[in-house]
Amino acid sequence: MGAPSVPEDRDLYRDTWVRYLGYANEVGESFRALIPVSLVWASYGVATAYVTADAIDKGKKAAVDLGKRRRVAVAVVDTFVWQALASVAIPGFTINRICAASLYLLGRTTRWPLPVRKWTTTAIGLSAIPFIIKPIDRSVDLLLNSSLRKLYSTSERPRSGDPSQ
């Protein structure tokens, strides 16, 4: 079974449901209080596989469109670094801290039984995901524009890592 057919003007990794695989680790972190840690780590595996597949895809597109090794390398590295930060590392850490803080605060401020506190923490983590995406995406763009992306010319730069652009 091959990759799903996607019209050429749509990006499989940014314009379809496949994009949500990049959020697997945030979902895993949200459920950390309820599931074995091995499943949380597995969610990072799913998100990392998504990031890697997107980077490879952008490299292949650069190779077809541009045919130059440097541009291919720039496309792969830029996409991988952007996705690793914006889809895995920063959101995973953010949701982890939101959930840890909420579980701690619920324990200090309520008399709710532990299972109720854990499910509430999970709900808080899941509900935070839509609110952290755009600020993290924009921050990673700013970070890369002021660091890594200064190493290569404007003509070599791929489309922003932000899937909404």
Burial class of 73 by CB neighbour count within 10 A (0 to 12, 13 to 18, 19+): middle
User: Does the pLDDT at position 163 exceed 60?
Assistant: no
Q: Residue 63: what pLDDT?
A: 85
Q: Does the residue 8 lie in any domain? A: no
pTM for the predicted model, two decimal places: 0.84
Residue 158's pLDDT band (cuts 50, 70, 90): low
User: Does the pLDDT at position 71 exceed 90?
Assistant: no
Q: Residue 14: what pLDDT?
A: 85
Least confident among 11-20, 44-53, 59-68, 93-102: 59-68
Q: Does the residue 4 lie in any domain? A: no
Residue 165's pLDDT band (cuts 50, 70, 90): very low
Indicate the number of domains in the chain: 1
Q: Does the residue 10 lie in any domain? A: no
Nearest CA to 50 out of 85, 19, 79, 29 is that of 19
Most confidently modeled of 31-40, 56-65, 67-76?
31-40
Least confident among 44-48, 96-100, 148-152: 148-152
User: Does the pLDDT at position 46 exceed 80?
Assistant: yes
Q: What percent of the chain has pLDDT over 70?
A: 85
Q: Does the residue 7 lie in any domain? A: no
Q: Residue 140: what pLDDT?
A: 96
More confident residue, 147 or 14: 147
Q: Residue 57: what pLDDT?
A: 92
Q: Does the residue 161 lie in any domain? A: no
How far apart (Å, rounded) are the C-alpha atoms in residues 33 and 30? 8
Q: Does the residue 102 lie in any domain? A: yes
Average pLDDT rounded to a whole number, residues 66-77: 83
Q: Does the residue 47 lie in any domain? A: yes
Q: Does the residue 33 lie in any domain? A: yes
User: Does the pLDDT at position 164 exceed 50?
Assistant: no
Q: Which domain holds residue 48?
A: 17-156
